[in-house]
Amino acid sequence: MHCRSRILASKIDPHLTPSAGGHINCVRNHKERFCTKVWTKQEKKSTMSNNDNESDVEYSETEECGYDDYYNPCNDADNETMNQKKCDPEHFEFECLTVDQVDRLLNELVETLSSRLRLTPSLSKLLLHAHNWALDSVIRMYLEDSSQLLVQSKLKPEKPPVVKTLSKTLVCPICIMMLPKDVFCGIGCSHLFCKGCWNTYLETQVMHGVSTATECMGCSVMATEDFVLPLLATPQLKERYVRHAFSDYVRSHPELRFCPGPNCNIIIRAKENKSKRIVCNSCKTTFCFRCGSDYHAPTDCETIRHWLTKCADDSETANYISAHTKVCPKCQICIEKNGGCNHMQCYGCKHDFCWMCLGDWKTHGSEYYRCSRYEENPNVANESSHARAKEALKKYLHYFERWENHAKSLRLEEQTLQRIRERIQCKVMTGTDGTWIDWQCLLDAAALLARCRYTLQYTYPYAYYMDAGPRKELFEYQQAQLEAEIENLSWKVERAETTDRGDLGIQMDVCEKRRTTLLQDFLES
């Protein structure tokens, strides 16, 4: 399988397949670092103005002026905070609760139910657990037909238990021992077993992590904690049962989710079960409330799962093909990118080009940024199945490469931050260019950059699974806009030589607006 994909891939673009070891060595010798050249302010300005000259003047004007009205319709200072909720497509109300708080929350529900319906708390607990803690509907169903509800929830046997014998001894069907009647017990169905067998059975269940789902040994009636706990021999077993049961309750409650952070005991509570961003206030893990995996807006839970599985299946091939290196489109020198934005300048021939499409960088200044867009081959339907397979692989690699590129940039974020910190230190120590406080905005910009890159990374699986059409065009247009703005921001962050906060601030604002606009339009509501 791998071999076949590899051949297909190398037919698509032989340049991407590093075939000779010499090339790889080349990377070490000629490590072209796009950050090698130190740009002075003047140079930077002249480059910028060059780009401006080429670009449409009207375009930049609408950017500066039209933005606030269009993208920020609720900018009224009075109700800004109130409207923020409506404007921010990522806004999601949730609270981080401790185990005790959740315990109290669940117990309140249990108490309400048990006092309303005069049931034991342990039975109420299992009843609520079986019906996802929907208190009102449980009460309604119970009042309609209590017996049917209990049978359905496997808390009561279908037929009333038969009391068999009047003799003083019974034979336990598990250990086949004849024992006095008073050592026998059961869950309320007709199955009676001796306490010794119950002990061993329940211990086995608890050791296997089974708690709320513990059934009778003879049928499927559920055991309540009132029945289980006294039959567990040691405090350790009891504690284990309670812990497992608590996890089960949290999992069955639609408003609750455990923080997936390692060793984090926080439980998140949110009213709506949506795929929105949660940041745990204790361990700072960011995740999706609905599926618990890494936050993935604008892609939905289902799609991202498909994508990640696909990547896991195909990544070896794709990795091999992109193989971390590309050749300079002008002098063919082999280049490894180890950070920074997509504007590359070749160490050897000084050629400026885009890392993504390997096209001349100059073409990226005007119009809009095109290299996040995948051009569908219109003749694909007429071609053979072999060509279609080739096309499918090419399409996948297109999106995968961009996805992986942003992921890589994000992984390098810690290094970037370190570099920024060192630069700030250096600037402040020499004492010419502002104070430590003046430079803090750079760190904010870096954080924003990371946030934008993250969203952008997750736009590629979304685009991959999108059907061609005007909506996809709009999406890819917005994606390209965001790409372009991020590149600008990345450029500015890496090269900030003065505390020109205005310039940086505008760029940050533009980036964040682009990101929110994209999410506003495409994040499922």
Partner 1 sequence: MAGLPRRIIKETQRLMAEPVPGISAVPDEQNARYFHVVVAGPEGSPFEGGVFKLELFLPEEYPMSAPKVRFMTKIYHPNIDKLGRICLDILKDKWSPALQIRTVLLSIQALLSAPNPDDPLANDVAELWKVNEAEAIRNAREWTRTYAMGNI
Q: Which residues bind partner 1 (CB under 8 A)?
A: 173-177, 191, 197, 200-201, 204, 215, 217-218
CA–CA separation, 84 and 107 (whole Å): 35
Burial 403-415 (b: 16+ CB within 10 A, else e): bbbbbebbeebee
Closer Cβ to partner 1, 202 or 333, answer by number? 202
Closer Cβ to partner 1, 154 or 408, answer by number? 154
Closer Cβ to partner 1, 161 or 261, answer by number? 161
Q: Which two tokens stand for residue 445?
A: 């910009």
On whether the CB atoms of residues 253 and 269 are closer than 8 A, the answer is no
- Minimum CB–partner distance for residue 201 and partner 1 (Å): 6
Closer Cβ to partner 1, 52 or 215, answer by number? 215
In this structure, how many other beta carbons lie within 10 angstroms of the beta carbon of residue 101? Answer: 14
| Total residue length of the chain | 525
- Minimum CB–partner distance for residue 271 and partner 1 (Å): 35
On whether the CB atoms of residues 469 and 481 are closer than 8 A, the answer is no
- Minimum CB–partner distance for residue 205 and partner 1 (Å): 9
Strand partners, 96: 268
Closer Cβ to partner 1, 191 or 306, answer by number? 191
- Minimum CB–partner distance for residue 172 and partner 1 (Å): 9
Strand partners, 185: 193
Per DSSP, the three-state class of 504 is helix
Q: Which two tokens stand for residue 309?
A: 């599985």
Q: Is 288 a catalytic residue?
A: no
CA–CA separation, 457 and 399 (whole Å): 10
- Minimum CB–partner distance for residue 228 and partner 1 (Å): 15
Helix axes 385-411, 301-322, angle to 10 degrees: 90
Residue in 341, 346, 452, 511 annotated catalytic:
341
For the purposes of burial, counting CB atoms within 10 Å of the CB of 89, is it exposed (0-12), middle (13-18) or buried (19 or more)?
Answer: buried
DSSP 209-247: T-STT-B-SSSSPBPPHHHHHHH--SHHHHHHHHHHHHH
Closer Cβ to partner 1, 174 or 428, answer by number? 174
- Minimum CB–partner distance for residue 200 and partner 1 (Å): 5
Catalytic residues: 341
